[in-house]
Structure 1
Amino acid sequence: MFGSSTIISVGGNGGWLRRHLLSIKTISLVVLSVQTSTMVLLLRYSRTANTTPYLITTAVLLSEVIKFSLALGFLHIECGKILQRTLDRIYRDVLINVFETLKLSIPAFLYVVQNNLLFIALSNLDAATYQVTYQLKILTTAIFSWVILGKRLRILHWLSLCFLMLGVSLVQVDAPKGITSRLNILPAVDAALVDGDAAAVVEEVDAMPNPDLQGSHPHTEVSWLLGVMAVCVSCVSSGFSGVYFERLVKQGPQTSLVIRNIQLGIFSIVFAVLAVISDGTLIRSGGFFQGYTLSTWAVILIQAFGGLMVSVTMKYADNILKGFATSLSIVLSTMVSVLILGDAAPTLQFVLGASIVISSTVLYGLSPPSESSLSSGSENDSISSSSSSYKVFSNKVT
């Protein structure tokens, strides 16, 4: 009798637990999707709505400073909110252990470059095209994991990666190529010179937007190419830096992730400051906060704090859920960018390409790559947990 009642009790609690976890997973799906879409759309809006564009380098620097402050705050809490203990910990684990600290300079540099590139990409591409193309990071991460970490990729993985490339290619081929730009108007200038009517054409050329790293002119072939190149380089950077950090965690000493993020933050701020210095002339003429609006500050704060929210939801998310979250985010971004931001409505070819990308993303998540035979199961669990926690401070626009 006691055994029966115990079984009934466990069964009842198990049913409640399953429903509870299902609810949490549903909430996680919504949070991941909305957070990703909000970040992409806000960044896109902040770069296209303002008459005077803000400097990308200053926004990245402020975001890095906030993330570094968060890391220090978490360390202070970890040390019992005792200042002397916190300072001793920083001195021992960061300054004395300088060799381990220097190892974080590589991913720090890559993440700063990557964040700058993503601002450039969303200055020149619509939100939907950006998000679909950025899924190439799955391909780069898989390849680097295979080469550096020795993870085994099954036929299902290679098949999904091939479909991913096909889908992204369809989306990019669908991009407008017939729009007049500074490149394709040059033959008209030559013809006008022959006719003796160059002045009118020169005026037209001068009136056209000049796509540069700080401007936002998403309606020319030149800026489209700049945006796509920025996304592709960012995907390579994302894949390598993520795998490199995973290797550090796996093979290096068992250092606290908070300390790892402080080490990372030091170099991130240094590289971000160097990038700001490169914009010294623009800052002297227009000021550090030129072009800043509420949307700019919102982007900076979401970029800094968004990773914390994502890391909490990732506790209950699996690879399948992440795939669905990515898919839902692409759909949401496409709808909002068309209805609110005024981007062009997706064509049938774009929808086909995006659908292939979404399907391949979910397919890849059904069975994530397995570790090499050199890694133990407990170590793998530790790496998975570490990677999730790491996203608190190193989050990117997904």
Structure 2
Amino acid sequence: MSLMDFDPVVVENLDKLTEFRRDLHAYPELLYDLPRTSSRVAEALRRIGCDEVVEGVGGTGIVATIRGATNSSGRSIGLRADMDALPVLETGDSAWKSRIAGRMHACGHDGHTTMLLGAAEALAKQRNFDGTVVLIFQPAEEGGAGARAMIEDGLFDRWPVDEVYAIHNRPGLAVGHFTIAPGPIMGSVDAIDIVLRGVGAHAAAPQDGVDPVPATAALIQAVQTIAARNIDPIDSAVVSITTIHGGDAFNVIPESIRLTGTVRTLRETVRNRIEKRLHELVEGISEAFGISGELKYTRSYPVTVNHPQETEYAAQAAETVAGPASVTRDMPPSLAGEDFAFMLAVKPGALINIGNGPSAGLHHPAYDFADEALGWGSTFWCNLVRQRLPLSASSGEAVQP
């Protein structure tokens, strides 16, 4: 596919979109604290000519609407992009490298936002669809559950949609390619926080205390058996202890040790089983070693589950952009998390991956979004809208999708 096959308005704006994406990249903001990012997005949406632009949804989220030439079907489609960056120190050397130390767009949300803006301008200018497009620009995807915050703030009550979709870039997949699959595609994201409390003592007199260190070692070993011995081998699960904090001196038995980590699964039943087993291990090992143990288990993001029919709709729209040979429907699942899961839990829809070429991996300090993907993603959005909210070619009336 050449540039001539992209939406003509998208082609006209490619240089402008690239400039916008690079500006977002240079000034990354975190979680809900997005004053510059959300202001720039809202300003762009108003300039484009959206029918409605509402700021402050779920904190710093933005919702905009574009009405088609007709609305005989009464249908609407939601398109979501995330806006926040990560607390990562960028190591790249581009002219648009992050100007804020310790922050960078290491997951491509600058690209996701820009692709949706590119589609918004084309859709607002042409209006060649029947129904309403709801544009959802979400804060706090990176651990802040911004999708849930927007839903709790009435997102789908105030702007009802029949379907909702999202794009994420995928490093290692060629630019101009798409991949998707039905069912569970990304893992649940849970946090574990364990405190083991003993009795401190001089390290030369361990009999005067109750040492939590051996209990910690035993617990770490036992936790590694959960996925191997308590979960069906056909199922996917990861239980990782990632931090250990305890003690201040080489010759003092610490009073307590704190461990934190994460649990990832692709099924709610597996998630429930792991949480139960962790409680059993913390309680049992604590009792065996004569200490006290406490587990705080926090459920963050649910499993991201693509709905089968909407997955096929997204794949078909991708084929109109890239051609059938450049679209796969067997995307392997990942145990990374995605808070678009909250939206898919209440509305039918799907998340599709778009190629980012041979870039560094997501969340890597050398990562950058491939500007070459902007035209592909923006045109995909346009084609999806026109396929799901079609006008009759002869009469201009809507046809049932």
TM-score range normalised by the length of the shorter chain: under 0.3
TM-score, normalisation: structure 1:
0.24
- Could you state the TM-score of these two structures normalised by the residue count of structure 2? 0.24
Please state which structure has a larger fraction of its residues in helix.
Answer: 1
Higher strand fraction (1 or 2): 2
Select the structure with the greater relative contact order (CA < 8 A; seq sep ≥ 6): 1
